[in-house]
Structure 1
Amino acid sequence: MPMLRSLAVASFALFVTLVPGWVPAWAFDRNTVEITTRSGVQVFSVEIADTEAAREKGLMFRKSLPPGQGMLFDFHREAPVGFWMKNTYIPLDMIFIRGDGRIANIAENAKPLSETVIPSDGPVLAVLEVAGGTARKLGIVPGDRVANPIFHGR
């Protein structure tokens, strides 16, 4: 039995090494983000990218992102940030969020595979990435409040 377990672990390690971009589902913690808009509260189930490695990986190599899901990039301190879409195959809305939980700016429908840097409008604590077109569809705009334990003033 120990030999089979060792073989399984070795096979898994080889698979992870040989398949670029593959990240097991358990690699990111999950949480909830609520955005209060004029039309009501919008709730997203998000993966948390709060380490350098997780932020670098982000949503790269994904082929889809279901409605109501996304990724929250936590930078742990406010600073200007920039994102790009290299190795990202789906259009995304990038919602840049200040430390107080207010949306600073939104980059809608970021072009897949683009290496153009998309900047925040000043210092932000986090960025929420959701499927392209979501912000417009749900009426999410700069100034809306985002609730998640990482934001001050909650």
Structure 2
Amino acid sequence: MTSRFWITAAFAAALLASCSGVSAGGGKANAAGCNPGEALSQSDAGLDQVRLCITSGKKVHAFTVEIARTSQQQARGLMFRNAVADDKGMVFPFTETRMASFWMKNTFIPLDIIFVRADGSIENIAMNTIPYSTDPVESTAPVAAVLELRGGLTAELGIKAGDKVRWTAK
């Protein structure tokens, strides 16, 4: 067989792999390099970090997120930060599904606040929340977690309600 055949076969295999996405179980790595739940080193703030993946249509977006587990960590959130990188964020897992309400007091930058159902689907997104505001930013139904990303990023990436969020908090 010719080298052209092997190059074409390799390209086809790579193309198929890039479309495979992340499995529902969340353990499979994909072409985007997203392995949800992959444990990472602690953040500068001393919080555990994991890999989180959002599947939006055929695209998979990978993020390194800090896990705000305790009530103190959740109360502080991303307050007092001057920036959030495009591939970073913070996840707030809850022990039970509930209505969630956040505010932006002492938060210097706009955030996209993503409310996540127990099945990992996005319930709703509050985009570009207003820094320093004490107005409540709320879920539209009970959720199992909240994810905060840089303000405007969800619109730029096409992330929307119904998309799937995968991570494993270790």
Q: So what's the TM-score if we normalise by structure 2?
A: 0.72
The answer to whether the aligner puts 1:105 opposite 2:124 as a matched pair is yes
Distance (Å, rounded) in 1 between the aligned partners of 2:95 and 2:159? 23
Structure 1 gaps of 5+ residues are 1-23
Matched, 1:145 2:159: no
Q: Which has the higher strand share?
A: 1
In structure 1, C-alpha distance between the alignment counterparts of 2:59 and 2:160, rounded to whole Å: 12
Q: CA deviation at 1:26?
A: 4.7
The 10-residue stretch of structure 1 (102-111 or 33-42) with the greater mean CA deviation from structure 2: 33-42
Counterpart code for 2:115: F
Q: Which amino acid aligns with 2:134?
A: E
Task: Please tell me whether the aligned partners of residues 39 and 139 of structure 1 are also in contact (alpha carbons under 8 angstroms).
Answer: no
Contact 1:38 1:139 in 2 (8 A): no
SS state of the match for residue 128, structure 2?
strand
Residue 86 of structure 2 is aligned with which of 59, 62, 67?
67
Contact 2:50 2:168 in 1 (8 A): no
Query: Which runs of no fewer than 5 residues in structure 2 stay unpaired?
Result: 1-42
Q: Which residue of 2 aligns with 1:56?
A: 75
Task: Return structure 1 stretches of 4+ with deviation > 3 angstroms.
Answer: none
In the alignment, is the contact (CA less than 8 A) between 2:89 and 2:148 conserved in 1? yes
- The equivalent of 1:6 in structure 2 is none
Superposition map of 1:74-85 within 5 A = 74-85=93-104
Mapped partners of 1:36, 1:88: distance in 2: 27
Instruction: Give the secondary-structure state (helix, strand or coil) at the position aligned to 1:110.
Output: coil
Tell which deviates more after alignment, 24-33 or 94-103. 24-33
1:49-106 CA-to-partner distances (Å, cap 9, x unmatched) read 0110100010000011111100001112100010000000000000000011000000
Once the two structures are aligned, what percentage of the paired residues are identical?
44
Who is 1:31 aligned against? 50
Kindly indicate whether residue 88 of structure 2 is the aligned counterpart of residue 93 of structure 1.
no
**What count of residue pairs does the alignment treat as equivalent?**
127
TM-score by length of 1: 0.80
Higher helix share: 1
CA RMSD across the alignment: 1.2
- Please list the CA deviations of residues 13-64 of structure 1 after superposition, one character each: whole Å capped at 9, or x if unmatched: xxxxxxxxxxx82521101110000250001100000110100010000011
- Structure 2 equivalent of residue 46 of structure 1: 65
